[in-house]
Amino acid sequence: MEQELKAVIPKDLALKCVKCGLCKSVCPSYHGEEGSFARGRLALAEMVVNNEIPLGKDVAKQWNECAMCRRCEWICPNDVQYKEIFVQARRLQDEELGRDLISKAGLKSLEFMQSSLGRKVIKAAGKLGGILPDEVKVPLPSGSVKFMPKPCGEPFGIRGKTFRAREEKGTLLFFTGCMIDVFYGKTGESVIKLMNALGYTVVVPQDIKCCGAPHLYHGNVSAFEKLRDHNIREMERHNFDAVVVACPTCGGALIEDYKKDWKVYDFTEILQKEGFPLKFHGANEKLTFHVPCHSYSAMKVDPGTFYDAIERVENAELVKAQKAQSCCGFAGLWSIKNPRLSEKVQKEKIEDFRETEADRVLTTCPGCVLQLRDGMKRFKGNQKVEHLADYLAEAMVEEPEAEEKVKREEATAGPGGR
């Protein structure tokens, strides 16, 4: 049994690492030890596969400190497929050592959030949200605290609806993702507003669950496969030309792991493909941008696409941050399991943004929005953090006839309806 499980780590892929060490320079978890960045973690994987060392707690500690940001993969000159190797390494770790409590609870809560009971509970919490501040201080199991967003006023509010552009040039299926569903409903509306203005009808399926990426990155392959199969069935009930996302972790999973021939785009890529026909008017301010790791490491979006979009905003100045493309320190459950590492990375980001003297920090990932807002509170930053979709939807100059041109039909989505 043990032999069979150990054979799961793809040794041939791990052996592609030529030990150059380039990945050390980009790894958010590196803290001086060889085992705290990709080269060392891969060497441990090789030794485990070769039965040179047991898969014990020391190995697990080094692997658990990995944020799965995949910046090592992005910079690697030898095309080492770090994710493919580590999904299997963590799967093996799960089998041999069991899953830690935070991961167990976190992954289960993502599944619960998208169950019918979970949605009822979150919708009820959304109604009570008026009495809470925008960010709620939540104690973490590590003894640390995190400023978490409260559920938005209408969680899952855009689900099961079709938002029609009158002179439509195509249909996009919007894969919202858990964070937009629960916390950042306004971002979902902003994406729809932008896509409608481009002439795309937007379909938001009723019963999409978590994309499964957090499960996959934790090595919980069977849970990922269940979520993927469910989502594929739900998505295929609709006719669409492409999928649009505003969360690069969801987008990466759809592109790499759903194995469908769908076109999947970040919303900024659609703006770019259309040649940026929309007009945006800023408020005489400086803007800076945080490039989410999975946007380039998983979705393979050129960061220039985001900057191109921001540069279209009249009356605003783009100031690039030195560390714009480094990790924000969120990485989902990683920030909860590794609070000290996460806070170190987060602090560096906040200081880097402070140096730009920008008024706003924009980004294209709801998880990064959460982490950077938390960081601004924690390290006394005063810059506003916003999803780029929200900023652009707000700054969009609507032509007088635009309201006439874009007819929004809120109808039950898809064949047969629900």
- Asked if residue 244 binds ligand SF4 (CB under 6 A), the reply is no
Contact 357, 285 (CB under 8 A): no
Q: Name the residue nearer to ligand SF4 (CB basis): 39 or 387.
A: 39
Among candidates 311, 301, 378, which has minimal Cα distance to 339?
378
Of 288 and 342, CB closest to ligand SF4: 342
Query: How many contiguous H segments (helices) and E segments (strands) does the chain have?
Result: 21, 12
Task: Indicate whether 25 belongs to the interface with ligand SF4 (CB under 6 A).
Answer: no
In the complex with ligand SF4, which residue's Cβ is closer, 221 or 244? 221
Closer to ligand SF4 by CB, 62 or 288: give it. Answer: 62
CB of 231 or CB of 325, closer to ligand SF4: 325
Q: Give the dihedral of Cα atoms 264, 269, 275, 279; nearest 10 deg.
A: 120
H or E segment to which residue 169 belongs: none
- CB closer to ligand SF4, 19 vs 108: 19
Site for ligand SF4 in 166-195 (CB under 6 A): none
- Do residues 90 and 219 touch, judged by C-beta distance below 8 A? yes
Chain centroid to Cα 47, Å, comes to: 32
**Binding segment for ligand SF4 among 27-35, 209-217, 304-312, 389-397 (CB under 6 A)?**
27-35
Q: How many residues bind ligand SF4 (CB under 6 A)?
A: 27
Pick out residues in 265-284 that bind ligand SF4 (CB under 6 A).
none
- Nearest 5°: the CA angle 391, 294, 126 is 50
Among 7, 15, 21, 417, binds ligand SF4 (CB under 6 A): 21
Considering only 7, 15, 20, 53, the residue that binds ligand SF4 (CB under 6 A) is 20
Contacts of residues 45-53 at CB distance under 8 Å and 24 or more positions apart, as own/partner, are: 45/9, 45/14, 45/85, 45/86, 45/89, 46/11, 46/14, 46/15, 48/6, 48/9, 48/89, 48/92, 49/6, 49/7, 49/9, 49/11, 49/14, 50/11, 51/6
Q: Does 368 bind ligand SF4 (CB under 6 A)?
A: no
- Bridge partner residues of 411 (DSSP): 162
Among 2, 7, 15, 18, binds ligand SF4 (CB under 6 A): 18
DSSP structure class, residue 396: B
The smaller minimum CB distance to ligand SF4, of residues 48 and 316, is found at 48
Nearest-angstrom CA–CA distance, 369 and 360: 12
Q: Is 280 helix (H, G, I), strand (E, B) or coil?
A: strand
Residue 350: CB minimum distance to ligand SF4, A = 19
- Answer for which of 39, 209, 228, 360 binds ligand SF4 (CB under 6 A) is 39
Q: What is the distance, to the nearest Å, from the Cα of residue 202 to the centroid of all Cα atoms in its chain?
A: 20
Q: Which of residues 41-100 bind ligand SF4 (CB under 6 A)?
A: 41-42, 66-72, 76, 78, 80, 82
Contact between 19 and ligand SF4 by CB under 6 A: the answer reads yes
From the list 14, 17, 336, 370, which residue makes contact with ligand SF4 (rule: CB under 6 A)? 17
Distance of alpha carbon 11 from alpha carbon 85, whole angstroms? 8
From 9, 13, 38, 89, residue interacting with ligand SF4 (rule: CB under 6 A): 38
Nearest CB to ligand SF4, comparing residues 46 and 394: 46
Nearer of residues 17 and 369 to ligand SF4, judged by Cβ: 17
Q: Cα separation of 76 and 378, whole Å?
A: 33
Q: Which residues bind ligand SF4 (CB under 6 A)?
A: 17-23, 26-29, 37-39, 41-42, 66-72, 76, 78, 80, 82
